């Protein structure tokens, strides 16, 4: 699960990471009092930031033509005008794809006097089975580009998960960022806090871009996490009630929300061949083989090892809600799964939805004879696949026709 910047900053603050307290606004009515409050606290500028689950907002543009999802306002009127251009509008950034994301929330914060921008992230390095801290002096910009063109500018430090981040490691990263004097210790403290945020919330990624050296109100240099992005491990969400409450359904694909109600693992894709499969590995292999024979999968869908008739029916309905779907491939290998349950589910779903699209079914394994009998006696027009390759070729051909 992903959360918004303003929510990420709450979690970071709880772990001692210096952030600017801001005010999240869901409607224009809330914007003026929020901006007034921030100006009254001594800020010379107010930053209006679109909250969407994607980065690159600063350089993004709205479908309305308005440029920039992050704007600096010098007056309350400006802040209100920017907010009016952002709220309810669709923001397109490098990370959103061309469809963009509708902005439902704005974060208003004080404008900081930025002297330097760095990059800092903690993520899970699966290859090394360890948390990895990445830091770079090239902050504020596209880190993928830095990684590609000047990989030597990204400093990496692996953390032993049983020990946690050692003070010397935090200082080493601080020094690698070129921090000097008092800022080294401040940096080490901030880096430890970011690691703590990652660890305690079961995050898969915490990214601060930019992490800034700023000129504070007293004229001294200080550090500030100006942006924050956190992705969380869904499998650990059950133990974080506070984070569950941060879920923003507006940011999730409607079909995926529907699927999660039935405990179905569904991810929408761009192709035209829907697939209904049991087991994640088989589902991936099915997508591969569709592609191999020249088709394009419309989704990933794993109905699980022990799906019920109701789940199969729900899965069919969800698949059919995608207007791009031109054909369906059911690929079931019954290990735990009873093929006849799937067959009964298919028959019920086809009758209930009045399916007219080509449907290719490949059943194999546990109770397959009864399953095939159910399908044969149903009177439905469906195409039987004798193997995975056969089924994939048949569905690709049917959709092309
Ligand atoms: P994104 O990464 O989605 O573009 P950021 O929060 O990183 O969004 O903002 C983009 C840029 O806007 C930052 O790199 C920074 O230069 C500027 N910015 C963001 N917040 C502030 C702030 N509070 N004060 C001054 N500048 C800011
Ligand atoms: Mg950023």
- Residue closest by Cα to atom 22 of ligand 1: 111
Coil/strand/helix, residue 18: coil
Instruction: Look up residue 377 and give its two tokens.
Output: 């006696």
Is 174 within a domain?
Answer: yes
The Cα 104–Cα 239 span in angstroms is: 27
Starting from the edge strand earliest in sequence, which strands make up the sheet with 46-51, in order?
23-25, 105-110, 46-51, 70-73
Count up the domains in the chain and report the number: 3
Task: Work out the average pLDDT over 266-273.
Answer: 93
Q: Please state whether the peptide bond connecting residue 265 to the residue before it is cis, i.e. omega within 30 degrees of 0.
A: no
Catalytic residue annotation: 119, 207
* Pocket of ligand 1 from Cβ distances under 6 Å: 20, 47, 49, 55-58, 70, 109, 111-112, 114, 117, 140, 209-210, 226-227
The Cα 37–Cα 55 span in angstroms is: 27
Are 95 and 55 spatial neighbours (Cβ–Cβ below 8 Å)? Answer: yes
Is 16 within a domain?
Answer: no
Residue 12 Cα to ligand 2 middle (Å): 15
Q: Which atom of ligand 1 is nearest to the CA of 110?
A: 23
Is 64 within a domain?
Answer: yes
The Cα 340–Cα 337 span in angstroms is: 9
- Please check whether residues 124 and 201 belong to one and the same domain: yes
Is 35 within a domain?
Answer: yes
Is 350 within a domain?
Answer: yes
pLDDT at position 354: 87
Task: Work out the average pLDDT over 229-247.
Answer: 95
Is 5 within a domain?
Answer: no
User: The tokens 């200080």 sit on which residue?
Assistant: 222
User: The tokens 């992230």 sit on which residue?
Assistant: 121
- Please check whether residues 102 and 151 belong to one and the same domain: no
Nearest Cα neighbor of 73 from 93, 97, 46, 52 is 46
The Cα 57–Cα 106 span in angstroms is: 12
Q: Which of 92, 110, 128 is the last residue of a domain?
A: 110
Residue 316 Cα to ligand 1 middle (Å): 43
Residue 118 pLDDT > 90, yes or no?
yes
Residue 344 pLDDT > 80, yes or no?
yes
- Please check whether residues 260 and 290 belong to one and the same domain: yes
Q: Which atom of ligand 1 is nearest to the CA of 49?
A: 6
Q: Which of 60, 89, 110 is the last residue of a domain?
A: 110
pLDDT at position 143: 86
- The pLDDT tens digits of the residues spanning 126-184 come to 999 999 999 999 998 788 889 889 999 999 999 999 999 999 999 999 999 999 999 99
Contacts of 69 by beta carbon, 8 Å cutoff, 6+ apart: 49, 50, 52, 57, 58, 60, 62, 86, 91, 93, 103
Helix (H) or strand (E) holding 312, with range, is helix 309-320
- Please check whether residues 234 and 294 belong to one and the same domain: no
The Cα 42–Cα 298 span in angstroms is: 52
User: The tokens 């010098």 sit on which residue?
Assistant: 74
Compute the CA torsion angle 197, 126, 158, 232 (nearest 10 deg): -10
Residue 184 Cα to ligand 1 middle (Å): 23
Domain of 297?
253-400
DSSP label at residue 297:
B
In this prediction, residue 304 has a pLDDT band, given cuts at 50, 70 and 90, of confident
Helix residue spans in 95-156 (DSSP H): 143-149
Is 363 within a domain?
Answer: yes
The Cα 203–Cα 327 span in angstroms is: 38
Residue 135, beta-bridge partner list: 120, 155
Q: Identify the nearest ligand to the CA of 57 by its number.
A: 1
- Please check whether residues 185 and 151 belong to one and the same domain: yes
- Please check whether residues 263 and 372 belong to one and the same domain: yes
- Please check whether residues 190 and 291 belong to one and the same domain: no
Residue 306 pLDDT > 90, yes or no?
no
In this prediction, residue 29 has a pLDDT band, given cuts at 50, 70 and 90, of very high
Residue 330 pLDDT > 90, yes or no?
yes
Q: What's this model's pTM, rounded to 2 decimal places?
A: 0.81
Give the CATH number of the domain where residue 46 resides: 3.30.1490.20
Residue 118 Cα to ligand 1 middle (Å): 12
- Please check whether residues 135 and 224 belong to one and the same domain: yes
Q: Identify the nearest ligand to the CA of 117 by its number.
A: 1
Nearest Cα neighbor of 210 from 354, 401, 380, 47 is 47
Q: Identify the nearest ligand to the CA of 119 by its number.
A: 2
Q: Which of 202, 223, 244 is the last residue of a domain?
A: 244
pLDDT at position 158: 98
Is 14 within a domain?
Answer: no
- Please check whether residues 371 and 270 belong to one and the same domain: yes
Give the CATH number of the domain where residue 230 resides: 3.30.470.20
- Please check whether residues 76 and 130 belong to one and the same domain: no
Measured in degrees and rounded to the nearest 5, phi and psi for residue 142 equal -70, 105
Residue 14 pLDDT > 90, yes or no?
yes
- Please check whether residues 320 and 353 belong to one and the same domain: yes
- Please check whether residues 263 and 395 belong to one and the same domain: yes
The Cα 107–Cα 284 span in angstroms is: 39
Mutation probe of ligand 1 site: the residue of 9, 41, 100, 227 with most atoms within 8 A of C-beta: 227
In this prediction, residue 310 has a pLDDT band, given cuts at 50, 70 and 90, of confident
Are 26 and 86 spatial neighbours (Cβ–Cβ below 8 Å)? Answer: no
pLDDT at position 144: 85
């Amino acid at each position: 699960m992903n959360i918004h910047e303003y929510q990420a900053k709450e979690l970071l603050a709880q772990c001692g990471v210096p952030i600017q307290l801001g005010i999240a606004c869901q409607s224009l009515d809330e914007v003026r009092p929020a901006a007034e409050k921030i100006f009254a606290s001594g800020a010379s500028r107010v930053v209006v930031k679109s909250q969407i689950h994607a980065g690159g907002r600063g350089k993004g543009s709205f479908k309305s033509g308005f440029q920039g999802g992050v704007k600096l306002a010098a007056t309350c009127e400006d802040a209100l005008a920017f907010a009016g251009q952002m709220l309810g509008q669709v923001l397109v950034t490098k990370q959103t794809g061309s469809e963009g994301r509708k902005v439902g929330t704005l974060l208003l914060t004080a404008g900081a006097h930025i002297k330097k921008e760095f990059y800092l992230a903690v993520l899970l390095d699966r290859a090394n089975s360890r948390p990895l801290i990445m830091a770079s002096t090239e902050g504020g910009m596209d880190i993928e580009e830095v990684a590609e063109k000047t990989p030597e500018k990204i400093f990496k430090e692996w953390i032993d998960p049983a020990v946690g981040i050692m003070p010397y490691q935090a200082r080493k990263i601080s020094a690698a960022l070129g921090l000097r004097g008092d800022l080294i210790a401040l940096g080490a403290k901030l880096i430890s806090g970011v690691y703590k945020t990652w660890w305690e919330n079961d995050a898969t990624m915490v990214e601060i871009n930019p992490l800034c050296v700023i000129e504070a109100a007293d004229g001294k240099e200080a550090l500030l996490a100006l942006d924050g992005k956190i992705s969380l491990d869904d499998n650990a969400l059950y133990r974080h009630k506070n984070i569950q409450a941060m879920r923003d359904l507006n940011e999730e694909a409607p079909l995926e929300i529907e699927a999660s109600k039935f405990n179905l693992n569904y991810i929408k894709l761009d192709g035209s061949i829907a697939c209904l499969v049991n087991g994640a590995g088989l589902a991936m292999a099915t997508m591969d083989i569709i592609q191999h024979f020249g088709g394009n999968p419309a989704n990933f869908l794993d109905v699980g090892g022990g799906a019920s008739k109701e789940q199969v029916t729900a899965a069919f309905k969800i698949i059919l809600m995608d207007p791009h779907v031109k054909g369906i491939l059911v690929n079931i290998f019954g290990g735990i799964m009873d093929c006849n349950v799937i067959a009964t589910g298919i028959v019920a779903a086809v009758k209930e939805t009045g399916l007219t699209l080509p449907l290719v079914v490949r059943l194999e394994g546990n109770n397959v004879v009864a399953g095939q009998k159910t399908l044969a006696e149903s009177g439905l027009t469906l195409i039987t696949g004798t193997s995975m390759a056969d089924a994939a070729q048949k569905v690709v051909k049917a959709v092309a026709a």
